[in-house]
């Protein structure tokens, strides 16, 4: 059966699948890694495993040549060697090292310098912002008596988590139901 533009229908489905994986897998996993790192200061091994497996799947589906595949793997290996030294010196965590290497695998040498530059600039800015905000006292509006509230906003919860603030022990309160 022929589809539009004289291409077989199965080929169009395969192209759409490849594009869907390209456009969703990497950004979704990176967003998960960023959120996990921001709130728990850990990046699970499964994040790196999913990224490597996803790259392998896309390389197989797109028919990536051996030279391109080796180039991407080489970029990942070079970054892994450098960030392993950073990890050994205690400058970065193990999850950050693995994530950097798997991200370099996706970008390859063609875009590696751009990726490393932007990761350094934005990572440094975020680090400085976190250090700055952890040194600041929390706004007084957060210290209101909110014993009767049943829910809090995500912004307050995030700011309290980021600053490692611990709430005072509230006296026990009785509600009308108990």
Sign of the dihedral defined by the CA atoms of residues 113, 116, 119, 123, in that order? negative
For residue 21, the model assigns a pLDDT of 80
- Judged against a pLDDT cut of 90, whether residue 25 lies above it is answered with no
Residue 157 located in a structural domain: no
Its pTM stands at 0.67
Structural domain boundaries, residue 79? 4-137
Q: Is the pLDDT of residue 116 over 70?
A: yes
SS3 2: strand
The answer to whether position 142 is within a domain reads no
Query: Is 163 a member of any domain?
Result: no
Q: Is position 16 within any domain?
A: yes
Q: Are 45 and 98 contacting, i.e. CB atoms less than 8 angstroms apart? A: yes
Residue 168 lies in a domain: no
Question: What pLDDT does residue 129 have?
Answer: 83
> Which among 38, 40, 44 is positioned nearest to 102, based on CA atoms?
44
In the predicted model, what is the mean pLDDT of residues 19-48?
86
Picking from 85, 94, 80, the residue whose alpha carbon sits closest to that of residue 42 is 94
Interval 138-175: pLDDT, tens: 555 445 444 433 333 333 344 434 444 333 333 344 44
Closest residue by Cα to residue 101 from 67, 59, 68, 72: 72
Q: Where are the alpha helices (DSSP H) in 41-144?
A: 45-62, 66-88, 94-134
pLDDT for res 149: 37
Extract the tokens encoding 85. Answer: 């030294």
Please report whether residue 63 resides in a domain: yes
170 falls within a domain:
no
Domain count, the chain: 1
pLDDT in tens, 34-68: 888 878 888 899 999 999 999 999 888 888 889 99
Assigned domain for 28 exists: yes
């Amino acid at each position: 059966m022929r589809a539009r533009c004289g291409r077989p229908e199965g080929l169009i489905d395969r192209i759409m699948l490849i594009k869907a994986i390209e456009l969703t897998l990497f950004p979704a996993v990176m967003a998960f890694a960023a959120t996990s790192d921001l709130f728990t200061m850990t990046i699970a091994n499964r994040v790196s495993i999913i990224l490597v497996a996803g790259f392998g799947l896309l390389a197989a589906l797109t028919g990536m040549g051996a030279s391109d595949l080796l180039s991407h793997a080489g970029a990942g290996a070079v970054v892994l060697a450098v960030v392993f030294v950073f990890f050994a010196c205690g400058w970065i965590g193990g999850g950050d090292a693995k994530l950097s290497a798997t991200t370099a695998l996706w970008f390859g040498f063609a875009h590696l310098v751009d990726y490393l530059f932007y990761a350094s600039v934005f990572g440094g800015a975020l680090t400085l912002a976190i250090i700055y905000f952890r040194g600041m006292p929390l706004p007084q509006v957060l210290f209101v008596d909110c014993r009767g509230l049943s829910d809090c906003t995500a912004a307050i919860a995030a700011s309290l988590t980021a600053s490692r603030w611990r709430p005072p022990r509230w006296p026990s309160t009785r509600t009308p139901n108990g």
